[in-house]
A and B are shown apart, each in its own frame.
Chain A
């Protein structure tokens, strides 16, 4: 089965993002396809490269990067939700006259059209958070 996933809450607001992470791992390990993971609302906080939790805590952004690398997972961060909260990729920062490069490895920035496309392509669409 083909899944599309949306994540709406930040790592330290609820554990919904980590639940989604575990769901995706389980789905892939059972032979399902995850078409896209879309980070929206405060979910975009999963994509901050410089999040630096203490060593005994889960490094969420780094784990997403690793999952993306292992399974060529398409991790998309909504551009408007991201900019509103100060997460800028270097090219967008340049266009805004700012210097910044916050996006963790394996994520990409795009628009809401990518979310609608994912809901159209998937057999099941699940919102976490």
Chain B
């Protein structure tokens, strides 16, 4: 078994990228690996409340994040500065997240075997 940290940095609905990343995350969880997600930069928008992407022909990827709990994925992390720089607070997100300061991100990454850029 390995520990995976999926580092998600892209905004939602920019093509199928996030949807396809979630497929990797779900497959990794189905392999019974231990994993956590880290939302950085524009990645924090992936959990923004009140998205309505279907009207643009895109998948509602935020609802897929909510399904991760079924796969025992509970650890969703974000960066204090990424939220602040975009005028967001944890209450603006559709799932509970644990915040880390930018200075602590490198230390967080060191705890994982695979840091998966996504």
Contacts and interface: CB of A to CB of B under 8 A. Distances in A.
A111 B23 CA distance: 11
Interface of B: 2, 4, 16-17, 20, 23-24, 27-28, 31, 33, 114, 116-118
A120 B23 contact: no
A80 B4 CA distance: 22
Contacts of A40: 20, 24
Contacts of B23: 80, 112
A81 B114 CA distance: 22
Interface of A: 40-41, 80-81, 84, 111-113, 115-116, 119-120, 125, 127
A113 B27 contact: yes
Given A120-B33, A125-B116, 15 more contacts: A40-B20, A80-B20, A80-B23, A84-B16, A111-B27, A112-B24, A116-B31, A116-B33, A119-B4, A119-B114, A119-B116, A120-B2, A120-B31, A127-B117, A127-B118
A119 B23 CA distance: 15
A81 B2 contact: no
A2 to B, nearest CB: 13
Contacts of B27: 111-113, 115-116
A41 B2 contact: no
